[in-house]
Amino acid sequence: MNLSIVVPAYNEEKRIGRTLEEYCKYFRGKKNELKSFEILVVLNNCRDNTLEIVKEKKLKFKEIRYLNFQQGGKGFAITEGFKDSLKRNNELIGFVDADMATDPEAFYELVKNIGNYDGMIASRWLKESYIQDEQTFLRRVMSRAFNFIVKSLFLMNYQDTQCGAKLFKRRVIENASKKIYLTQWAFDVNLLYLCKIMGFKIKEQATKWRDQSQSKIDVVRAPLKMFTGILRLRILYSPFRGVINLYDALPEKIKLNHKLIR
C-alpha cells in the first residue's frame, strides 16, 4: 500500500528536523510492508527557519514533500495536505503533529491495525495507552472537559478526539476533504463527525504518547477558543446554520471578539 503522512508545521524549526529524520528512517525500514510512503510537510504562515530545515532534509530523504502557505491554521494545513495527497496514488492518508509526541512506531500501529476499518485514531485516554511525561493537571482537566462537551454535542463516543495522529483510507479523505469546515480548534471533531455522518467505521487505538514541553497551547485562552470552536461547529451542523452565516457577513468592526469565534 502507498502511505501519505501529512505534517502541519507552524514555526517548528526546533522540532521538525528530528521528526522528519525519525519518520523517514523508520518507514524506510518498512519497505516490505509498504509499497511506498511520503511525508508531506504543510507549512502554514511560518515566520522562522522551518522551510529551510525542511528543504535541507528533503535533500537527504526523497520521500519528503512540502507545501508552503501564508495562511495559517492547523485545520487549513491538514486539509490542503489531504488535497495534495489525493493527487497521487496514496491508499492510506493520515496526519501527525510535528512535535514527535507520537513517534513513528506508534503511528505505524495505526497502519498495521487499520484492516477493514475506514480509519484509525490514536487515543491517549484508553487504559492500554502508555503516556510518558504526562500533561499538567490543568491540561488534563481541560482535555477531559473538552471531550465531555464533544460527546454531549455530537454524540460520538471517542475518548480522545484531539490526539494528533490519525489515519484514513483514501475514500474517506476523498469525501471528507470536500465538506470539512476550516474551524481551527474543532478540525479533528469536524473530520470525525463527517465520518460518522457518511457512515465510515473509525476505530480508536491505544497509543504511546509523550507530552512536549514546547507546546504552543495557551492554557488561558485555549479553553475558550476550543469551546467557541466546538459551539460554532455544532451550529453549522444544525438548522440554525444561518446564524453563523449572518454573523460572518457582519462588518469586522462590529463583530464581538471575532477571533475567538472562528
Confidence of residue 260 (pLDDT cuts 50, 70, 90): very low
In a domain, 236, yes or no: no
Q: What is the CATH number of the domain that holds 41?
A: 3.90.550.10
In a domain, 71, yes or no: yes
In a domain, 37, yes or no: yes
Work out how many domains the chain is built from and give that number.
Answer: 1
* For residue 132, pLDDT beyond 90: no
How much is the mean pLDDT over the chain? 90
Model pTM?
0.90
**pLDDT (tens digit per residue) in 38-58:** 999 999 999 999 999 999 999
pLDDT at 250: 65
**For 3-39, b where at least 16 C-beta lie within 10 A, e where not — what string?**
bbbbbbbbbbbebbbebbeebbeebeeeeeebeebbb
**pLDDT (tens digit per residue) in 150-192:** 999 999 999 999 999 999 999 999 999 999 987 777 999 999 9
Q: Give the Cα separation of 109 and 104 in Å (integer).
A: 9
In a domain, 262, yes or no: no
Domain that holds residue 87: 2-148+159-214
pLDDT at 214: 54
In a domain, 10, yes or no: yes
pLDDT at 17: 98
In a domain, 84, yes or no: yes
Q: Can you tell me the mean pLDDT for 140-152?
A: 90
Angle (CA) 201-202-206 rounded to 5° is 145
Q: Which has more pLDDT, 183 or 216?
A: 183
* For residue 218, pLDDT beyond 80: no
Confidence of residue 243 (pLDDT cuts 50, 70, 90): confident
In a domain, 239, yes or no: no
In a domain, 244, yes or no: no
